[in-house]
Structure 1
């Protein structure tokens, strides 16, 4: 289980390495083009959901659990890029709650 670290405090959002690897490519493409977007997910305890606004000025770090690169699927990346371009943003489904 990897982590997306977000904001000046680098708050951790735990997610599987394969989701994190695909999201990393989408973030690079969108932020590289100067375009912000949202990323949302449901909490695994069924008690809520979270959304992050991603843009160039907000610190991000991708921490992978595995030392080996994850194979990514270009079709999945394109689908996520399409989602990112919509007002609803990218939906990651259900993820564990943020790490303390």
Structure 2
């Protein structure tokens, strides 16, 4: 991922897009672990950050981005512009995280 420039903007200041290669995406579906769910339930009573869920979603975002980058590499891209992340609930215990953007070649 270090050699892939990723930006949420449609352009890269100071760089010229020489080729648009198309949509790239990566996704993952994660479910809660029963042990983490119990601890998170107790944390809900007291209040504060639910670290178990935050960690789960952080890992899911990273995996979705890694998969998107791998797809961009296959197209020969050196950057992804207009990158977005979306999360949706699949079931009460599972969520999908999708990373998507436009693979491009920058000069």
The structure with higher relative contact order (CA 8 Å, sep 6+) is 2
TM-score by length of 2: 0.26
Greater fraction of residues in helix? 2
Structure with max Cα Rg: 2
